[in-house]
Amino acid sequence: MATIKELSIKCGVSVSTVSKALNGYKDIGDETRRNILRIASEIGYFPDSNARALKMKKTYNLGVLFSTMFNHGLRNEYFAHILASFNEYATNRGYDINFIEHNIGNRKMSFLEHCRYRNFDGVCIACADFFDSEVLDVVNSKLPVVVIDHVFHEAISILSDNMDGMRQLTQYIIDQGHSRIAFIHGTNSSVTHNRLVSFYQALKDNNITIPPEYVIEGVYRDAEVAESITQKLLDLPMRPTCIIAPDDYSALGVMNTVRRNGLKIPDDVSIVGFDGISLAQALEPKLTTIRQDTDRIGAEAAKQLINLIENPMATTISNVYLKVQLMRGGSVRNMNPVMGDEESQKD
Amino acid sequence: MATIKELSIKCGVSVSTVSKALNGYKDIGDETRRNILRIASEIGYFPDSNARALKMKKTYNLGVLFSTMFNHGLRNEYFAHILASFNEYATNRGYDINFIEHNIGNRKMSFLEHCRYRNFDGVCIACADFFDSEVLDVVNSKLPVVVIDHVFHEAISILSDNMDGMRQLTQYIIDQGHSRIAFIHGTNSSVTHNRLVSFYQALKDNNITIPPEYVIEGVYRDAEVAESITQKLLDLPMRPTCIIAPDDYSALGVMNTVRRNGLKIPDDVSIVGFDGISLAQALEPKLTTIRQDTDRIGAEAAKQLINLIENPMATTISNVYLKVQLMRGGSVRNMNPVMGDEESQKD
DNA sequence: CTGAAAGCGCTTACAG
DNA sequence: CTGAAAGCGCTTACAG
């Protein structure tokens, strides 16, 4: 690729003048500027990003922490979709993205060291072990940071309104006449905690009490764990009429187990998920779930991060909660007594 | 982050000596080297990648072209999995990855210009319009290039053995007693072409002829298109007993349409897919399909690309075909007459 | 309005 | 065995 020096020779002016014209400085003659811009675009000149970064302390490169632990990462549809929209927004604002890793070739570097090595302008922590000290080091560094699905005091957080989602979902189940509702929740985290709080609150608001055995800790996106827990729930003397899975993928495990027990969905056992991935639509019956708006989560994360980078004093460090949507599928049985011309359901 | 200058002061030697010690040059005193290495790791020193890249003409950064057109990109499970394994392998060899885009902020750059702007050491064309001149410019450039799922003469190609996959799949269907087999194939490409060739060959080998209306062009991963084509197939005076979808995701559209017509799967119509994504396992009945080994495709692409970068004279520009696997689900009916103690199937 | 010069953080001939 | 110097391709005070 042509260097600025070659370009300056073609233009018959100095390197400084070319640089200033290209970067929109005002103190350049109109004619000179036009000439430079024209020739630059003719030969397809672009400044070398490395040289530019070295001088300007700005790489236009964002680090994305996208760990594959806990069944997360690119192989997880929810996170892959978030990354897609994050990348689209970032690109539109002129930023590229790199994944943050810690075993780069032979060198073991911490996440933070990788960030410094590459000089990222900012970092998005999309999926990670939020209690890992390496992650905390990044959050506590001077780097602009945005976090998805977790709340740190020191960084901007983007997340779905999980409390509202769980409230809507639970209320919907209750409205369908269920009171024996089991909840397989994910591993402990602030998101999980809030969903649990909201679940219990909705029960309380409706004067429903459930046995403690109905609430069991599972693992997000682990169908096998969901299967064994479901078996336990089905083996209870008084089994639940509805099971809330920690996510849509786990819901598939719940479904399989229910069927393996010779029970029908939703006639014998109702099932709901959380996330609203495409799998939910593919299942038969369609899964009732809460759809998280992955397009907005990713775009909002990128937007907040870039604003924080470019305009730190005009960007507040706060939490952004995004609306969720109840997706009514066919996996929850209506247990209410028939009335009016509502569809009837046999017991 | 500490610079090499600061480190050199701490070590009491010159910048040159530090650099050489860090880079494994032999002409450094043992004691000096050890001392430098120790202090460097104490303060967590890493060279600035931009400064290093500027000097060495090597960024340890790979460009990945990962277009979202044609329902591809990160939101496509098949490609997201390939990217995951590509990234894992590249990281292990010391490379980071960036997505290649062409609208970076206000600047419109071509794919090739983006590669030069970022100085990628090499490029992986994972999903793209292979006939786009911008893509061809990259392939024809001096950059090391590896291509997934398409064959160019000028670059290394990594792809599944589609011909073998299609042969296995078609033979399996035939072995189950089907002869009225329809094939909804994807948009024209070398992959599509080879699958078609293999499909016809398998029919011929078994002395089966099908009406031309049974072979229709669809669109990869477009369930809606698959639905309307399926409707046409079902409306034929002599409808097929088995439909081959272009991919698993499209197979879902085929299934939905078949059921909407009041037909049972596989009793009335058998259905198979291609790819082996997790959706295939989630469907009821499980989808019979060909599993492409996304883990190996991604890793092999990264391996070939990095070999080509680091050791061009020892790396041949050739095509790598990876084995595929027939996944027997429950979506193909066995039409053979009952014999022995095989399971019976009513007509 | 234009350009010479310094410097960003490195690596690597070259001299000693 | 060690270090001074040049240079990678840029940007930006500063001088004119």
What does the block give as tokens for B97?
């990855």
Q: Is the pTM of this model over 0.75?
A: yes
d(CA A208, CA A44): 68
Nucleic strand D within 7 A of Cβ B29: yes
Determine the nucleotide nearest to A55 by Cα–C1' distance.
C8
Average pLDDT of the segment spanning B180-186? 97
Nucleic strand D within 7 A of Cβ A57: no
Lowest mean pLDDT among A328-342, B127-141, B181-195, B278-292: A328-342
Nucleic strand C within 7 A of Cβ B309: no
- Which fold, B61-160+295-324? Rossmann fold (3.40.50)
Q: Is the peptide bond before B212 cis (omega within 30 degrees of 0)?
A: no
Other Cβ atoms less than 10 A from the Cβ of A149: the count is 24
Angle at alpha carbon of residue B130, lines to B128 and B135, rounded to 5°: 80
- Nearest-CA distance from A337 to chain B in Å? 29
d(CA B298, CA B296): 5
Per-residue pLDDT at B284: 77
Residues in chain A with CB shorter than 8 Å from the CB of B83 are: 74
Nucleic strand D within 7 A of Cβ A47: yes
Domain(s) labelled CATH 3.40.50.2300 in chain A stretch across 61-160+295-324, 162-292+326-344
d(CA A141, CA B136): 42
Q: Does the beta-carbon distance from A84 to B74 stay under 8 Å?
A: yes
Question: Cβ of B59 under 8 Å from any chain A Cβ?
Answer: yes
CA dihedral A113, A115, A119, A120 (to 10 degrees): -170
Closest residue by Cα to the C1' atom of nucleotide D5? Answer: B16
d(CA B100, CA A64): 16
For residue B43, pLDDT over 90 is answered with no
- 82-111 in chain A: CB under 8 A from chain B: 83-84, 87, 91-99, 101, 103-107, 109-110
Q: Residues B243-273: pLDDT tens digits? A: 999 999 899 899 989 999 999 999 999 999 9
Task: Tell me the residue ranges of DSSP E strands in A195-305.
Answer: 215-217, 242-244, 270-272, 289-292
What is the bridge-based pairing of β-strands A324-327 and A289-292?
A: antiparallel
Residues 19-78 of B with CB under 7 A from strand C: 19-20, 22-23, 45, 47-48, 51-52, 54-56
Per-residue pLDDT at A221: 87
Residues in chain A with CB shorter than 8 Å from the CB of B279 are: 278-279, 282
What does the block give as tokens for B329?
């689900």
Identify whether the C-beta of residue A173 lies closer than 8 Å to the C-beta of residue A332: yes
- Nearest-CA distance from A96 to chain B in Å? 7
Other Cβ atoms less than 10 A from the Cβ of A192: the count is 17
d(CA B100, CA B135): 11
What does the block give as tokens for A113?
């060291």
Nucleic strand D within 7 A of Cβ A20: yes
The secondary structure of A17-36 as a DSSP string is HHHHHHTT-SSS-HHHHHHH
Three-state secondary structure call for residue B210? coil
Average pLDDT of the segment spanning B54-66? 95
Residues 36-55 of A with CB under 7 A from strand C: 51, 54-55
d(CA B19, CA A4): 28
Least Cα distance to B323 among B159, B198, B200, B155 occurs for B159
Confidence of residue B345 (pLDDT cuts 50, 70, 90): very low
Per-residue pLDDT at A309: 95
The secondary structure of B279-318 as a DSSP string is HHHHSSSPPBEEEE-HHHHHHHHHHHHHHHHH-GGG----
Residue–nucleotide distance: A12 CA to C13 C1' (Å): 32
Lowest mean pLDDT among A16-30, A159-173, B48-62, B177-191: A16-30
Query: What sign for the dihedral angle of Cα B339, B343, B346, B347?
Result: negative
For residue B36, pLDDT over 70 is answered with yes
Under 8 Å CB-to-CB from A340, ≥6 apart: which residues? none
Per-residue pLDDT at B282: 76
Across the beta sheet with B181-185, the strand order is B215-217, B181-185, B242-244, B270-272
Burial label, A314 (beta-carbon count in 10 A; 0-12, 13-18, 19+): exposed
Other Cβ atoms less than 10 A from the Cβ of A344: the count is 9
Question: Cβ of B318 under 8 Å from any chain A Cβ?
Answer: no
* Kind plus residue range of the DSSP H or E element containing A99: strand A96-100
- Nearest-CA distance from A228 to chain B in Å? 18
Average pLDDT of the segment spanning B27-40? 88
Which residues of chain A have a pLDDT value below 70? Answer: 1, 339-347
Return the residue of B nearest to A102 by Cα. B91
**Residue tagged 């094939």 (tokens):** B183
Q: Residues A328-339: pLDDT tens digits? A: 999 999 998 876
Question: Cβ of A51 under 8 Å from any chain B Cβ?
Answer: yes
- 141-160 in chain B: CB under 8 A from chain A: none
Distances (CA, A) of A211 to A167, A208, A217, B296: 19, 10, 15, 47
Q: Residues B138-173: pLDDT tens digits? A: 999 999 999 999 998 889 999 999 999 999 999 999
Q: Does the beta-carbon distance from B94 to A104 stay under 8 Å?
A: yes
Residue–nucleotide distance: A52 CA to D8 C1' (Å): 12
Per-residue pLDDT at B340: 54
Q: Does the beta-carbon distance from B1 to A252 stay under 8 Å?
A: no
Check residue A275 and report its DSSP letter: B
Burial label, A259 (beta-carbon count in 10 A; 0-12, 13-18, 19+): middle
Residues in chain B with CB shorter than 8 Å from the CB of A47 are: 117
**Residue tagged 């090391």 (tokens):** B144
Residues in chain A with CB shorter than 8 Å from the CB of B107 are: 46, 94
Query: What sign for the dihedral angle of Cα A334, A244, A326, A201?
Result: positive
Q: Does the beta-carbon distance from A47 to B117 stay under 8 Å?
A: yes
Q: Does the beta-carbon distance from B117 to A68 stay under 8 Å?
A: no
Q: Is the domain covering A162-292+326-344 a CATH 3.40.50.2300 domain?
A: yes
Per-residue pLDDT at A244: 98
DSSP β-bridge partners for residue A275: A291
Three-state secondary structure call for residue B25? coil
- Which fold, A4-47? 434 Repressor (Amino-terminal Domain) (1.10.260)
Per-residue pLDDT at B279: 80
Determine the nucleotide nearest to A22 by Cα–C1' distance.
D11
Domain(s) labelled CATH 1.10.260.40 in chain A stretch across 4-47
Average pLDDT of the segment spanning B171-194? 95
d(CA A156, CA B251): 41
Average pLDDT of the segment spanning B302-330? 94
Angle at alpha carbon of residue B88, lines to B87 and B93, rounded to 5°: 95
Q: Residues B217-247: pLDDT tens digits? A: 999 988 889 999 999 999 999 999 999 999 9
Residue–nucleotide distance: A293 CA to D4 C1' (Å): 59
End-to-end CA distance of chain A: 74
Q: Residues A208-217: pLDDT tens digits? A: 999 999 999 9
Residue–nucleotide distance: A22 CA to C4 C1' (Å): 19
